[in-house]
Amino acid sequence: MAITRRGLMLVLSSPSGAGKTTISRRLLDEERTLFMSVSATTRARRPGEVDGRDYFFVDPTEFNLMVNRGELLEHAKVFGNYYGTPRGPVEEALAAGRDVLFDIDWQGTQQLQDSAPRDLVSVFILPPSTRELERRLRARAQDSDEVVAARMAKAADEISHYPEYQYIILNDDIERSVAAVRSILAAERLKRERQVGLPDFVKGLREGSGDD
Ligand SMILES: Nc1nc2c(ncn2[C@@H]2O[C@H](COP(=O)(O)OP(=O)(O)O)[C@@H](O)[C@H]2O)c(=O)[nH]1
Ligand SMILES: Nc1ncnc2c1ncn2[C@@H]1O[C@H](COP(=O)(O)OP(=O)(O)O)[C@@H](O)[C@H]1O
């Protein structure tokens, strides 16, 4: 009887600009069994974003239907728009032993903590300072001054939710932050509760039949 592993849900949350997209991209490049969960959202598509890759862009009626049909694992209103995680792809991946990466906010993380505490690995990413957070938001050069100001105003509120997360990474040096998430993944993958077929395997070992 072989041991297989159930996949895990790796959530990265942070105030906007702290670095979660940068860290996620690096992890997805390096980790063969890690897949990104693509959320549904009612927010408008930005230039360069691709439907089905960055988000599933839906209208509020369609979003409501998804909620009412129970198709979302979690959902929340963020910055005035609705966001939610489609259930099907995540459940399939976990059952097949693949890990799923989520870029969701604290509200969604709380819902996953309630509905699937054993599968959840939650990581909060902090910026080294407020000054550096603002510098990164400006360096990204994607947003207007007003949008940067609005994101800075939201940052303190986001950061106040750090105690709800299992792991904290201060994203000063990007290489060290990526290495830190990889260490978390490596340890979490070995957790006893994730190993499927372990009791039978150990029983076989004890009975001296582990070689077949
Ligand atoms: N709860 C929840 N939050 C989400 C989901 N998808 C994205 N978010 C969060 O919504 C916020 C805004 O995302 P987005 O519109 O892409 O803007 P940006 O990430 O700040 O550039 C971020 O904090 C995301 O983590 C989701 O499916 N569920
Ligand atoms: N450790 C770091 N040191 C310096 N700059 C960083 C670091 N991590 C991310 N950045 C930069 O900060 C900006 C915001 O990062 P991003 O990953 O888009 O943040 P988020 O997804 O959390 O909004 C980007 O320009 C990115 O290149």
In a domain, 129, yes or no: yes
DSSP E strands: which ranges in the chain?
A: 4-5, 9-13, 34-36, 40-41, 56-57, 72-78, 81-86, 99-103, 120-126, 167-170, 195-196
Name the pairing type of β-strands 56-57 and 40-41: parallel
In a domain, 209, yes or no: no
- Phi (first) and psi of residue 194, to 5 degrees: -85, -10
In a domain, 11, yes or no: yes
The span from the CA of 128 to the CA of 97, in Å, is 34
The span from the CA of 75 to the CA of 108, in Å, is 6
Strand order of the β-sheet with 120-126 is 34-36, 99-103, 9-13, 120-126, 167-170
In a domain, 200, yes or no: no
CATH of the domain at 67: 3.40.50.300
Q: Comparing C-alpha atoms, which of 24, 6, 1, 8 is closest to residue 166? A: 8
Q: Which two tokens stand for residue 177?
A: 């932050």
The span from the CA of 181 to the CA of 178, in Å, is 5
Q: Does the C-beta of 3 come closer than 6 Å to ligand 2?
A: no
In a domain, 76, yes or no: yes
Q: How far is the CA of 18 from the centre of ligand 2 (A)?
A: 6
Question: What integer pLDDT is reported at residue 209 of this predicted model?
Answer: 67
Q: How far is the CA of 77 from the centre of ligand 1 (A)?
A: 9
In a domain, 1, yes or no: no
Question: What integer pLDDT is reported at residue 211 of this predicted model?
Answer: 57
Per-residue tens of pLDDT for the chain, all 212 residues: 689 999 999 999 999 999 999 999 999 999 989 999 999 999 999 888 999 999 999 999 999 999 999 999 999 999 889 999 999 999 999 999 999 999 999 999 999 999 999 999 999 999 999 999 999 998 876 678 888 888 899 999 999 999 999 999 999 999 999 999 999 999 999 999 999 999 999 999 999 865 55
| Total structural domains within the chain | 1
Question: What integer pLDDT is reported at residue 212 of this predicted model?
Answer: 53
Question: What integer pLDDT is reported at residue 79 of this predicted model?
Answer: 80
Answer whether 40's CB lies under 8 Å from 69's CB.
no
Which of 38, 81, 103, 136 has most ligand 1 atoms within 8 Å of CB, for mutation?
103
In a domain, 180, yes or no: yes
In a domain, 195, yes or no: no
ipTM at complex level:
0.96
* Dihedral sign for Cα atoms in the order 147, 40, 156, 28: negative
Domain encompassing residue 127 = 7-189
Q: Does the C-beta of 104 come closer than 6 Å to ligand 1?
A: yes
| Residues facing 167 on adjacent strands | 123
Answer whether 102's CB lies under 8 Å from 14's CB.
no
